[in-house]
Structure 1
Amino acid sequence: MSLQCLTIQYWLRKHAAYRPRHTAIVFEDKRLTYKELYEEVNRLANAFIAAGIGKGDKVATLLPNSVELWEIYWACASIGAVAVPLSPLLRGHGLFNLLDNSDTKLVITDQDLTEHIDAVRADLKMIPDNNFWVTDNNKNGYQNYHLQKQQQTIIAPSVEEVTGNDPYNIIYSSGTTGLPKGIVLSHEVRALYGCLFANAFRMTPESVVMHSGSIIFNGSFLTLMPAMLLGCTYVLMSHYDAQEVVDIIHKEKVTHTILVPSQILGCLQKPDFHKDYLASLEYILSVGAPLLQEHKQELNKRIPNVFYELYGLTEGFMTILDRNCALLKTGSVGTAPQFMELKIVDDKGKELPQGQQGEITGRGPLLMTEYYKSPDQTREAIKNGWLFTGDVGYLDKDGFLFLTGRKKDLIISGGVNVYPGDIEEIVIKHKAVKDVAVFGIAHKEWGETPVAAVVLHEAAVVTAPEIQDWVNQNLEARYQKIYKVIIIDELPRNVAGKVLKRQLKETYALIS
């Protein structure tokens, strides 16, 4: 197969031709068939061209989940433009830096977020004045998104062909371990997302895929791309709400959905979250962070044979724990899918034998093209074709991967490596604990020592010292013992649902 074929440029056109009346997207009270979506996307693609956007040009969004964001993704694909989805929570220098770094030529936002664009607009010299668009109402100094579309034809524009090597989007890292990096992902990578994950997740054209988190994050593309490849119905929620997730799965007969661990925990609090009420479900994918064993067991008890877990990086390496192995390999995040390889290496890059912990590295056809305009960081991340993840784990005798943490989260206490994940699995077993994060703080004698931040169940009556004593009595090794337990209302998370351990360390660094 040539790289000319490995693109997503014409996926939507094919569905509009061969299954035009099939529902393409559901968002709140709006439903579009593939024919209707294709016509809307064609109007938008023609509007992009009229605004001077062509192959390789960057279109940035500062939008919440919406039909407009969905249309933008496919309009960019159709003309070879590069979609740059940015978090609606970006402000000030952070927003300017990403718009500037990405070489954005057109930015699309909504009425509620224009004030944040206005704050940096004077410095955005690379964006023409007419290329600031707003999706709702008229805003002085902005072009109206829908008016720009309405002025255009529904006929597909005549455009340059794209190849698999051409970039499709730039996804910026969350910045939990430093400044955000622009991860460039090509048409070929996104095309293979469609093929490989549709197969791995047992999706068909009749599948109904729901997404409740923000679709600006790479995790959403794990089902977003297979859904469009196959022509599924995609149910997009405006925001996550645990009860709404349960109700929409029931109402729309959803078959596939992605939930991050904190969202799974929220759903487990709902009495209707069980197999009888959610009989259509075939798949729940946990992504973004390790799901604690207690929560996995409860999920598998409530809704058997639907749980998958994916470990992966936007940069392009993944492992999948299939639902058929979920109970046999509890604690594992699975194996590398077809066409991917993984190995565990030491600090010198030497492969380690089964059972020994080291850095997880992987390679395969889903690797990013580069960190945008950052060749040094790209070379640091990808060496001889292998992506060095910065995560720590080991392989068991069957080749299943077990995570033990991030290298940056590793606690070295008295010269011994202490892995926060091992301690978290013990803490969560305490009947009063709802959620937990373990991190290291400085200690004058041991160098570092573990601290546990815990969130309690609502009805729990327990003290921090009581939890600490219970945990330390149940840990396997003395060097794992936690120095302090801190009871907090909520763990700090970024918008992708990942716990911000760096923030916890900074907040509680001076605990005595």
Structure 2
Amino acid sequence: MSTEILTLKDLVIRNAAERGDSPFILFYDEVVTYRDLDERSDAFARYLLSKGIVKGDIVAFMMANSPSFFYVLLGAQKIGAIAGPVSCWWQDKELQHLVDDAEPPILIVDDEFAPIVSKIKEAITSVKTIVVNSPSKLSLDFEHEYLPDILEGHAGKLRHDDPPTPDDVATAMYTSGTTGKPKGVLHTHRNILSGAHSKVQVAPIDPGDRSLCVLPLFHSGGLNDLAYPCMYRALTIVLRTEFSASEFWECVERYKVNGFYIVPTMWNILLRVPEASEVDTSSLRFGLSGAAPIPPEQLEECERRFNVPILEAYGSTENTGGITANTFDARKFGSIGKALPGMEVRIFDEQDNEVAPGEIGEIVTRSEAVMKGYHKAPEATAEAIKDGWLHTGDMGYVDDEGFFFIVDRKKDLIIRGGVNVYPKELETVIGAHPAVEEVAVIPEPHDKYGQVAKACVVLEQGKSLTEKELRAYCASELAPYKVPEKFLFRDRLPRNAIGKVIKKELIREIAEEATAEAVPVAHLFEGMSARFIPKKAKGVDAVISYHITGGGGGDWTVTIRDGQISVTEGLAENPRCYVVARDSDYYDVTVGKMSGITAVITGKLSIKGDTGFMRKLRKMFSPVETK
């Protein structure tokens, strides 16, 4: 591939010219070639120009994984506009915040998100045009156009006198807001291409290889760490709208997938389903894991179970994704690998001096992949980037061989009576207990010490553990000042779009639970029999138990056998699936306010046992009718 690539527009044009007939996306039964991508993104770019969109305008779009996501993304970037993907898990208040901050003149949404727009249509005054991505016409209470009509009506070669330059901003990716309100991270074309170039240097991939994408494209992991590198090397993306454990290995076998990138939460779910042992995974060369640490013992179990090398990596949205990675030539369990090519990575102390190997400090990085800054936030930008070094906010160290290790988030550090306590160390110790499924350690205000540690613990299904037993275990493994002051047993932990535990949300949940209003769900179980579709349950023999917490919750067991259903109170001894959720979250999932996969990945709903069956279970019931 000889053409010089300076912008994403150049990249799309080059791939269309040199690999035009090669598939870019395999999306269920739809095949999109690199030529299709160029032509359809041209069509959307022509539409944007017709609406008066100019270089520097933010084009906001709330779209799930689909080929159309790329037409909008690249169409905006081709004319120098800024693509602004919006989290599909946000609600009206979060979308309102983004619109207030970004002031986009246009908003594109999938049809399922139209109700969110309806709630704030009067308040989003900067938005002059709303486009809905829907295969059919809808009755909506706001003026709108349809994306399929736009792509058809504006087909043709893009001719534009003001093309993007390498240093023009290409994307504004709003962070998940785990430490405050979401901020718009600005990436230039140079940032994105530099980051993609670094990643493909260490990945064992070649043009035409196939990579499975189940991470959301609106997140840096799906877009910066997977999609852009695939485009850079002209790979084929096997794209799915969302992660499904039961569908994952089917995709690997059917499409002869060579590699994929998922997060620890997804690895954990895959370990609970039997599908991997039943399919051909010989095409796989590697799997990537990132976004959160994966315990070494779990990583080893995944490699053994799935027969694929797993390379752990580390990055941030502010660095356009990856910063370090383990590779086939250099890997060490428990580490986040070595610096990627073109990335300078150091460990700094509080005075921004580099520390010696083995000493803990903040992980900082410098490269052409570092963001331009935060949108309309010069002070936050200056705090994050000092003398060209991006301060990640992660504490860690580097060993004598150049492998980096994460210790904790700087903002998660607990200072107990002037002594540093790193929650991740405590989480590693507590998480190693055989009765513990997962744990998050958060600060608790204390009159004497200022702060102490509080451990929020989720137990393995069927396991029991008392606070006294857990405290004694910690005392045998940790220094006295590190032993958590309090232990709180919980049913699940809240997570963000890619499965990372959101400690800020956990603290908020704990504070709110004492005064939370009950959301009754008994009627949902009582109405199951009326919504049951016997012909969809032919041959099914299953017992599912539900433990719903909160004032409106309770315990129920659903038995499906021989086309019949029974719902009883209480829990079964050995159910096929064991579901845990708060009353409000279970209600939202059941009535369709929140998708089941969203609830699972964010920790709002926990499924133990045959997770793949729960996806099939939904088809056995008609929707809940709500007033």
The offset of 1:103, in angstroms, is: 2.6
Amino acid at match of 2:176: S
Q: 1:273 to 1:412 in 2, by over 3 A?
A: farther
Q: Equivalents in 2 of 1:453, 1:252: separation in Å?
A: 41
Amino acid at match of 1:196: S
Of residues 272-281 and 33-42 in structure 1, the stretch that sits farther from structure 2 once superposed is 272-281
Q: Equivalents in 2 of 1:468, 1:320: separation in Å?
A: 35
Alignment of 1:78-157 (within 5 A): 78-128=78-128, 131-136=129-134, 137-139=136-138, 140=140, 141-157=143-159
SS in 2 for 1:31: strand
SS in 1 for 2:151: helix
Question: Is 1:411 matched up with 2:410?
Answer: no
Q: Equivalents in 2 of 1:125, 1:420: separation in Å?
A: 43
Q: Equivalents in 2 of 1:401, 1:177: separation in Å?
A: 24
Aligned to 2:256: 253
SS in 1 for 2:8: coil
Q: 1:301 to 1:480 in 2, by over 3 A?
A: farther
Q: Equivalents in 2 of 1:197, 1:275: separation in Å?
A: 32
Aligned to 2:613: none
Amino acid at match of 1:386: W
- The correspondence for 2:166, drawn from 156, 164, 167, is 164
- The correspondence for 1:435, drawn from 427, 434, 438, is 438
Alignment of 1:227-306 (within 5 A): 227-273=230-276, 277-303=280-306, 306=309
Residue 57 of structure 2 contacts residue 81 of structure 2 at CA under 8 Å; is this kept in 1?
yes
Question: Is 1:35 matched up with 2:35?
Answer: yes
- The correspondence for 1:210, drawn from 209, 212, 221, is 212
Aligned to 1:396: 399
Q: 1:325 to 1:298 in 2, by over 3 A?
A: farther
Q: Equivalents in 2 of 1:503, 1:94: separation in Å?
A: 15
Two-structure CA RMSD over aligned residues (Å): 2.2
Amino acid at match of 1:206: G
Aligned to 2:350: 347
Question: Is 1:361 matched up with 2:357?
Answer: no
SS in 2 for 1:24: strand
Of residues 372-381 and 94-103 in structure 1, the stretch that sits farther from structure 2 once superposed is 94-103
SS in 2 for 1:273: helix
The offset of 1:510, in angstroms, is: 11
* Higher radius of gyration, 1 or 2: 2
The offset of 1:123, in angstroms, is: 2.5
Aligned to 2:64: 64
Aligned length: 503
The offset of 1:69, in angstroms, is: 0.9
Q: Equivalents in 2 of 1:504, 1:34: separation in Å?
A: 43
Q: Equivalents in 2 of 1:390, 1:155: separation in Å?
A: 45
Amino acid at match of 1:396: D
Residue 249 of structure 2 contacts residue 279 of structure 2 at CA under 8 Å; is this kept in 1?
no
Q: Equivalents in 1 of 2:50, 2:353: separation in Å?
A: 53
The offset of 1:305, in angstroms, is: 5.5
TM-score by length of 1: 0.93
Aligned to 2:595: none
Q: Deviations over 1:93-121 (max 9, x none)?
A: 42122113113121101222112212222
SS in 2 for 1:497: coil
Amino acid at match of 1:484: K
Amino acid at match of 2:137: N
SS in 2 for 1:9: helix
Q: Deviations over 1:361-413 (max 9, x none)?
A: 11111111111111111111111111111111111112211111011111122
Amino acid at match of 1:64: A
SS in 1 for 2:457: strand
Q: 1:237 to 1:453 in 2, by over 3 A?
A: same
TM-score by length of 2: 0.76
The offset of 1:159, in angstroms, is: 4.6
Q: Deviations over 1:235-282 (max 9, x none)?
A: 111111122122211221111211111111111212233697322222
Of residues 144-153 and 179-188 in structure 1, the stretch that sits farther from structure 2 once superposed is 144-153
Amino acid at match of 1:296: L
Q: Equivalents in 2 of 1:222, 1:285: separation in Å?
A: 10
Amino acid at match of 1:117: V
Q: Equivalents in 2 of 1:41, 1:388: separation in Å?
A: 35
Q: 1:385 to 1:297 in 2, by over 3 A?
A: same
Of residues 271-280 and 310-319 in structure 1, the stretch that sits farther from structure 2 once superposed is 271-280
Residue 16 of structure 2 contacts residue 34 of structure 2 at CA under 8 Å; is this kept in 1?
yes
Q: Equivalents in 2 of 1:212, 1:159: separation in Å?
A: 37
Q: What are structure 2's unaligned runs of at least 5 residues?
A: 514-627
Q: Equivalents in 1 of 2:416, 2:83: separation in Å?
A: 44
Aligned to 1:319: 324
Q: Equivalents in 1 of 2:267, 2:442: separation in Å?
A: 22
Residue 7 of structure 2 contacts residue 190 of structure 2 at CA under 8 Å; is this kept in 1?
yes
Amino acid at match of 1:333: I
Aligned to 2:449: 446
Aligned to 2:485: 483
Residue 310 of structure 1 contacts residue 321 of structure 1 at CA under 8 Å; is this kept in 2?
yes
Q: 1:274 to 1:188 in 2, by over 3 A?
A: farther
Q: Equivalents in 2 of 1:312, 1:83: separation in Å?
A: 21
Residue 321 of structure 1 contacts residue 334 of structure 1 at CA under 8 Å; is this kept in 2?
yes
SS in 2 for 1:315: helix
The offset of 1:292, in angstroms, is: 2.1
Q: 1:54 to 1:507 in 2, by over 3 A?
A: closer
Q: What are structure 1's unaligned runs of at least 5 residues?
A: none
Aligned to 1:74: 74
Amino acid at match of 1:200: V
Q: Equivalents in 2 of 1:313, 1:118: separation in Å?
A: 33
Amino acid at match of 1:440: P
- The correspondence for 1:181, drawn from 157, 180, 183, is 183
Q: Equivalents in 1 of 2:36, 2:345: separation in Å?
A: 42
Residue 9 of structure 1 contacts residue 80 of structure 1 at CA under 8 Å; is this kept in 2?
no
Q: Deviations over 1:447-487 (max 9, x none)?
A: 32222222233232433433333233233x22221233322
Q: Equivalents in 2 of 1:322, 1:465: separation in Å?
A: 42
Amino acid at match of 1:204: D
Amino acid at match of 2:325: I
Q: Equivalents in 1 of 2:459, 2:249: separation in Å?
A: 23
Amino acid at match of 1:66: S
Amino acid at match of 1:208: R
Residue 250 of structure 2 contacts residue 279 of structure 2 at CA under 8 Å; is this kept in 1?
no
Of residues 488-497 and 462-471 in structure 1, the stretch that sits farther from structure 2 once superposed is 462-471
The offset of 1:50, in angstroms, is: 1.8
Q: Equivalents in 2 of 1:270, 1:405: separation in Å?
A: 31
Of residues 404-413 and 312-321 in structure 1, the stretch that sits farther from structure 2 once superposed is 312-321
SS in 2 for 1:431: coil
Amino acid at match of 1:236: L
SS in 2 for 1:45: helix
Percent identical: 31
Residue 438 of structure 1 contacts residue 452 of structure 1 at CA under 8 Å; is this kept in 2?
yes
Q: Deviations over 1:318-340 (max 9, x none)?
A: 111224443xx222111211222
The offset of 1:57, in angstroms, is: 2.1
